[in-house]
A and B are shown apart, each in its own frame.
Chain A
């Protein structure tokens, strides 16, 4: 997935690619592959950045993924749409933390902590 190909995608396609990338990240975590996880995170950040540039900031399209069955997809979608849906996104992240589905629960807990500490400032 290149920057150019991302720019040509519709919002629907970007959301689909986002969830597919988060699912690949879920698999990569199970297989202890940090390199593949990093690639997936980069992809999702690039998609979120592209959605932000679309008219009206289309990151709200990620809200469709808040009920996705996979915990990694829910967490990443919420985290990368915090700026456009702060309350709903926080609820999803809090729910992932409380689910005790590790390691995503740990990641969710740290996400909330970075928000409290001011390390993460959603824009």
Chain B
């Protein structure tokens, strides 16, 4: 019990440290930006315009301004008073994890993901189970999913071998997606070569990435972009997604 409390305390301290460091960095950047904005504002106030014509080099007045066009009236140039920093002073990206089981599914999902991402830093399984209990006892019902999220990347052979023995907290993932059955046979899609066992929450992240519109794919979702493309292209994207999701060793 003492270990559990110590671990929870360590996590709280770690979060406070991260948030504090983030805030200091933000304040330093904000100050530097505001100083730069102030200097820029002063330059505009005194009529500086780098595009204003000058007398050519070699003439008696070489380098001097040729007219009084310097200034403040170019298109979208912002006046110094309008310059302000985007966003509020940060307190960290992780929302609070409720002690009691939230009534809404979306709130439970949010808490589960937050816990999994936060507890990725915890050392042993025993420590993690204790930390889950401390964060919110209701999270114990999804401890398998949270624990599997901490898996380190594995080789393709390991992930493929795992697909033959499903276990709690994991899902079978198709490297080339199942919805491509129109173009490839069911046997090919479901062949052992195309199946891997991945942590459930990683699986959800990968699936969400496939479904979400993305400027990298011309504004289409990767799933729509890949629709109808060759097996080789789809497999290459599928394997790279597993690598970048932290599931497959590069």
Residues of A within 8 A of B (CB): 10-12, 15-16, 19, 23, 26, 29-34, 37-38, 41-42, 45, 48, 54-56, 58, 64-65, 67-71, 73, 79-80, 97, 100-103, 105-111, 113-115, 119-120
Q: Does B217 make an interface contact (CB < 8 A)?
A: yes
Q: Does B187 make an interface contact (CB < 8 A)?
A: no
Q: Knowing that A41-B212, A69-B92 touch, tell me 7 more A-B residue pairs with CB under 8 angstroms.
A: A41-B214, A42-B213, A79-B215, A103-B245, A110-B222, A113-B240, A119-B217
A32 to B212: give the CA distance in the assembly, Å: 11
B106, B214, B221, B245: the one contacting A102 at CB < 8 Å is: B245
Q: A12-B78, A102-B117 are in contact. Are A45 and B86 (CB under 8 A)?
A: no
For A11, the closest partner residue in chain B by CB is: B76
A119 to B86: give the CA distance in the assembly, Å: 31
Q: A32-B106, A69-B22, A110-B216 are in contact. Are A103 and B208 (CB under 8 A)?
A: yes
For B149, the closest partner residue in chain A by CB is: A102
A71 to B92: give the CA distance in the assembly, Å: 10
B contacts with A: majority SS: helix
Are B212's CB and A54's CB within 8 A? no
Of B39-47, B107-115, B154-162, which stretch is located at the interface?
Answer: B107-115
CB distance from A67 to the nearest CB of B (A): 5
CB distance from A65 to the nearest CB of B (A): 6
For A68, the closest partner residue in chain B by CB is: B87
Are A70's CB and B85's CB within 8 A? no
Q: Does B95 make an interface contact (CB < 8 A)?
A: yes
Are A106's CB and B215's CB within 8 A? no
Are A34's CB and B208's CB within 8 A? yes
A48, A100, A101: the one contacting B93 at CB < 8 Å is: A101
Give the number of chain B interface residues (Cβ < 8 Å). Answer: 45
Q: A15-B86, A80-B215 are in contact. Are A106 and B76 (CB under 8 A)?
A: no
A106 to B244: give the CA distance in the assembly, Å: 5
Are B106's CB and A70's CB within 8 A? no
- Residues of B219-250 at the interface with A, using a CB-CB cut-off of 8 Å, are 219, 221-222, 240-241, 243-246
Q: A56-B75, A64-B85 are in contact. Are A106 and B214 (CB under 8 A)?
A: no
Q: Does B138 make an interface contact (CB < 8 A)?
A: no
Chain A residues near B204 (CB, 8 Å)?
32
For B206, the closest partner residue in chain A by CB is: A106
A70 to B86: give the CA distance in the assembly, Å: 11
For A14, the closest partner residue in chain B by CB is: B76
Are A31's CB and B75's CB within 8 A? no
Which of A31, A54, A105 has most B Cβ within 10 Å?
A31
Are A30's CB and B113's CB within 8 A? yes
B86, B93, B206, B219: the one contacting A64 at CB < 8 Å is: B86
Chain A residues near B87 (CB, 8 Å)?
19, 23, 68-70, 73
Are B106's CB and A33's CB within 8 A? yes
For A82, the closest partner residue in chain B by CB is: B215
Give 17 pairs: A residue, B residue, CB < 8 Å, sorted on A: A19-B87, A23-B87, A26-B93, A31-B106, A31-B107, A31-B110, A34-B211, A41-B212, A69-B22, A73-B86, A73-B87, A103-B209, A106-B209, A110-B209, A111-B216, A114-B216, A119-B217
Are A103's CB and B205's CB within 8 A? yes
Q: A11-B76, A100-B246, A102-B245 are in contact. Are A32 and B86 (CB under 8 A)?
A: no
Are B216's CB and A106's CB within 8 A? no
